[in-house]
Amino acid sequence: MREAAIYARVSSNEQANKDISIPAQLEKLHEYASKNNIMVVKKYIDDGISGKSTEKREQFLKMIAEAKQDPKPFDTIIYHKNDRMFRNMYDAVVYKKLLREDRNIDLICISQDIDTNTPHGMFAERMMDAVAEYYSANLAEEVMKGMNQQAKKGVALGEPPYGYSIDRETGKYKVYEPEAEVLKYVFQQYIKGNSLREIGVDLRANGVNLFGDSALLKVSKAIDNKGKHNDQKISWAPKTVRNTLSNEVYIGNYIWNDTQIENNHPAIIDKDQFELVQELLKRNKKSKKNASKDYLLKGLVTCIECEGNLSQLTQRYKPVGADKEQITRKLRCTRHVRFKDCYPNYWSMEEVEQGLVSYLKEIIRDKVDISTLQINKSNNNDFVKELNRLEKKYKNFDSRFDKQMQAFEAGVIDLEQLQGYKKRLKEEKEEIEDRIAELEETINNTSTDHEGFKQQINRLIHTLENDDTPLNKKKNILIQAITEVQLSKRQDLMRIIFKF
């Protein structure tokens, strides 16, 4: 009696098909073995695994490895259809040669019984392998096409990211609060000045106490096993923290391949907070490369005359009669150094830092009229983007109506349809005019919450004057309140551009 192994496989896309389900395949394989006096001694099942390649098919590879053993554990392999075993011509040729010729193991496809000892049979089998490979490639293309269509609707594809689950009604991401709380904490800690490594150490040590298991475990939340992963432990390595802080999904943006949709789903992180973190990540990355050259005002100071940056110049000198060298730190115009098209604009670093803190204190003491300060509103960028988009849309109204007019003249639409379209277009135009007016008023409104602004400045002063606060934390707080410090030695002028 021949001893056989049976092999069954189904991909995740095919699980709903009862005819090729694992139980259906096994039933038919056992039935065939019983009728043909074959003893089943081994069973290999790849459940939910694509047949496009053998690389991820653990049970298939185990079957091949055991087939190479001496003595071999079986002399026959039975499978339901050719595409259950192979969907790749190269794999089919290689493994069939190995099993049949090298190991003398018979291969039986119970639904496509072909005598491979004849030229016609060999040709037919090769054709079936080719068809299976074509079907696999075409299926992959169709699946990708379907996924692209879903992505354009902002629908979740597979496992949602940490912080989100999937809304069954809309198919889009919805906030998963246990993980969302952890994310908010990560962003807050980075803004406070904690490094990527420090945040990871903190979460590993205290995360479970603060947030429960969600701090160190991402729970799988895929719907109906589509793209389902196992629950994943999170180590919060520096790279993981950085990737989390950089992920636009947390401000409601959906990105999949070339598809990008803004405000697609509920945001976990405020856009202003997210943009601040991106600025901090960028600045801290540069500072890390030149840690020894880092300083409080790095990247913030510019030359009023040429609008170029001012950079630090460190000079060492030994005064006459002194035992030790002394160090002076100055700021100078980089365009003067590189291109000689501006003057040096030298400033003592101590002079600028102390002058900045003194001016901030003047604001707190109401010795400076806040309404005269240049304060950039941190949320204006979104309003400007929306205004630009609506203005472009507004300009296209005439051309849109012209096209409908052409359709009317060509007899494609009647007069009633043209009048209806004109009415709808007018209503839409009026709505956009109103919104443009609102946006322009919002953007041009220079009013500022004076008390809120003073509180922000007071926190900044407290941080800058605290000798125990690390430099990177001081810089983080400074960047939140100040966009730019402009200097001119010729005019003896320091001008500060605030952010609120």
- The secondary structure of residue 417, as a DSSP letter, is H
224-233 — which CB contacts under 8 Å span 24+ positions? 225/12, 225/15, 225/48, 226/12, 226/158, 227/157, 227/158, 227/159, 228/158, 228/159, 229/159
User: What gap in Å lies between CA 156 and CA 170, rounded to an integer?
Assistant: 9
Cα–Cα nearest to 247, from 218, 219, 268:
268
* Low-confidence residues of the chain: pLDDT under 50: 16
User: What gap in Å lies between CA 96 and CA 63, rounded to an integer?
Assistant: 13
Which tokens hold the place of 385?
């983007």
pLDDT value of residue 309: 94
pLDDT value of residue 16: 42
Considering the candidates 11, 136, 165, 287, report the single residue annotated as catalytic.
11
pTM of the model: 0.54
Is 246 an annotated catalytic residue? Answer: no
Cα–Cα nearest to 280, from 186, 197, 192:
192
* pLDDT digit string, tens, across residues 25-52: 999 999 999 999 999 999 999 887 765 6
Q: How far is CA 323 from CA 63, 122, 314, 315, 319, in A?
A: 80, 94, 19, 17, 8
For residue 53, report the phi and psi dihedrals to the nearest 5 degrees: -140, 155
* pLDDT digit string, tens, across residues 124-174: 556 655 555 555 555 556 556 666 778 788 888 878 999 999 998 899 999
User: What gap in Å lies between CA 277 and CA 188, rounded to an integer?
Assistant: 9
pLDDT value of residue 193: 84
User: What gap in Å lies between CA 82 and CA 92, rounded to an integer?
Assistant: 9
Strands 301-303 and 259-261: unpaired
**133 neighbors 141 (Cβ within 8 angstroms):** no
